[in-house]
Structure 1
Amino acid sequence: MDRDRAHRSSPGYSVPTTLHLVGPTSWTEVPAVLSYAVSDPFAVRIGFGEPGEPADDGVTWLLGRELLAAGLERPAGDGDVRLWPARTSGDVLYLHLRAPSGEALFELSRATVAAFLQQTEALVPPGQETAALAVDEELAALLSGGADPGAR
């Protein structure tokens, strides 16, 4: 099954938010949506673009839910995704994304991310992610060449 299609049809939680792209002389508001799906319990998606736009119209980054939670309290991540709380303001979380085409530093609300994570934990408690995975169905689909085993 296509993972993006499974993500869209799975129970989950989404919240629109605004990130602030930090530039050399100013910052720019960037609309985004934080989303979580029970079918992909280890991951959080950040979709950049207006809420309600088709997913194909924007850019989506996939982050580990555990990484996002750790970044609320201390510097976390290395490589393409890094997060850390601001030292001077209680409600600022920094998100640094790096891709081959460039990199970006965003500010976002720690309170928004914390509330979002609390909702995801109500759906799948930390430590229970593996139990939420449909490993048997995914394996059956892989072994059948991608055909839906329930469609027989």
Structure 2
Amino acid sequence: MTNRWNPGHTAPVTLQLIGPQSWTEVPALLCYDATDPFAVRIAFGDIGDDSGVVDTDDGIAWLVSRELLQDGLDHPSGDGDVRVWPSASASDVLFLHLRAPSGEALFELSRAVVAGFLRQTEALVPSGSESGLLHLDDELHVLLSNGGADPSGR
């Protein structure tokens, strides 16, 4: 099954994977979809095609909080698997630390690119209005009705 995702806004970005003795350029795509208004997807690898549809089967994708990225532009943000913070010595440097059971990675990327991307997401869905786009009553009904199979839950 192909995991194809049609974003509301995307921005290409090059991350620098910081290794013990060298740095490696890692192409990625920042993706935002108003149907998942609290999240930003960071897709790594060969993930795009000419139609603008993102295919995450060919790469790795991380889902991170839009608010976490916004806060990380100005001060350390996040706890646990995803952390973001600005460089203390360079104005256009942002650090992104990702941790998974299989390992962890520290990236450096452009603060300006992330800030510009987040401004575009704000134009689609202003911060604070995300909940209005979610259909929580419908989702809750589906969950409580056993996925719609039997409204009595049996």
Query: TM-score per shorter chain, which class?
Result: 0.7 to 0.9
User: Is 1:81 the counterpart of 2:77 in the alignment?
Assistant: no
| Deviation for aligned residue 1:121 | 0.6
Runs of 4+ residues over 3 Å off in structure 1:
139-147
In structure 1, stretches of 5+ residues that fail to align are 148-152
SS state of the match for residue 52, structure 1?
A: coil
| Deviation for aligned residue 1:16 | 1.2
Query: Corresponding residue for 1:107?
Result: 108
Query: Corresponding residue for 2:45?
Result: 49
Query: Corresponding residue for 1:127?
Result: 128
Q: Is the 8 A contact 1:31 1:51 kept in 2?
A: no
Q: Is the 8 A contact 2:18 2:108 kept in 1?
A: yes
| Superposition CA RMSD, Å | 1.8
Q: Is the 8 A contact 2:81 2:100 kept in 1?
A: yes
User: What amino acid is aligned across from residue 76 of structure 2 in structure 1?
Assistant: P
User: What amino acid is aligned across from residue 28 of structure 2 in structure 1?
Assistant: A
Between the aligned partners of 2:130 and 2:86, the Cα distance in structure 1 is: 25
User: Is 1:30 the counterpart of 2:31 in the alignment?
Assistant: no
Query: Corresponding residue for 2:91?
Result: 90
Larger-Rg structure = 2
The alpha-carbon distance between structure 1 residues 51 and 59, as it changes in their structure 2 partners (threshold 3 A), is closer
User: What amino acid is aligned across from residue 69 of structure 1 in structure 2?
Assistant: Q
Q: Deviations over 1:50-109 (max 9, x none)?
A: 341631111111111000000000011111111110011110000001111111000010
User: 134-143 vs 119-128, which deviates more?
Assistant: 134-143
Between the aligned partners of 1:114 and 1:47, the Cα distance in structure 2 is: 17
User: 126-135 vs 109-118, which deviates more?
Assistant: 126-135
Between the aligned partners of 1:37 and 1:140, the Cα distance in structure 2 is: 23
SS state of the match for residue 75, structure 2?
A: coil
Query: Corresponding residue for 1:64?
Result: 65
Larger helix proportion of the pair: 1
TM-score by length of 1: 0.85
TM-score by length of 2: 0.84
In structure 2, stretches of 5+ residues that fail to align are 50-54, 149-154
SS state of the match for residue 122, structure 2?
A: helix
Query: Corresponding residue for 1:150?
Result: none
Percent identity, please: 63
Between the aligned partners of 1:48 and 1:28, the Cα distance in structure 2 is: 13
| Deviation for aligned residue 1:139 | 3.4
| Deviation for aligned residue 1:134 | 2.5
Number of residue pairs matched by the alignment: 141
